[in-house]
Amino acid sequence: MDAFEDHCWEDVVDQEVLDIYKAYRRETYIGRKPALLVIDLYNLAFQGGAKLPIELQDTFPSSCGKYAWEAVEPTRRLLARCRELDIPVVYSTADTRMRKKSSISATNRKGAAPTEDAFEIFEAYHPEPQDLIIYKSRASAFYGTTLAAQLTMMGIDSLIVVGESTSGCVRASAVDGYSYGFHVSLVEECCFDRSPLSHKISLFDLHHKYADVMHIEEALDHLAVKET
């Protein structure tokens, strides 16, 4: 397996499909002036602890369970490194003001009534005063928000995307980021989903069409080069 395809989808994408997608192979990179885009790492995704989502669905249907908790350590490493390098950090979360006034939501999935702090950023990733927080009502962090304008004003040319869910809000935000002209990178170990299959296939699609999927160590290596 070559480095470009050495990712989590190895066990679900066969060689014929890999051959069909050869035209997408290229050098991957992080742009000259990146921002870290942290998608929906709020309390709701971590409810119930590190259990399988199927074990939590009746009590915490919005939780990503063990997959959320497995991403904590690599995401904290990446976040800390970005802060060391003064890379801007942008968080997205649900706009609860809209939820109170209408039926608008990010997906059609039914969920339990959220707790008061459900959409606050999870304590492991607590925002700092200089960070930007985007409040959204749909899947993409760009849709109906000022995110593209804010990034442009900061001179950002690329995005490092992490968060959840890979097949939902991460995917929508990555595609929109690409459509707005930003180079997009996703860190595999820092993205997660309730469904491992959806996670793998979504990363495969994004990697070949709209974004550079990287392992955490690869992303940190790219950032180390920027420091020198």
Catalytic residues: 169
Decide if 42 contacts 118 (C-beta within 8 A).
yes
Closest to 76 in 3D by CA, of 220, 221, 226, 225:
220
CA distance 85 to 136: 27
Q: Pinpoint the alpha helices (H) of the chain.
A: 15-20, 53-56, 65-70, 72-84, 96-101, 147-153, 171-179, 196-209, 216-227
Helix pair angle (196-209, 171-179), 10° resolution: 10
Decide if 19 contacts 62 (C-beta within 8 A).
no
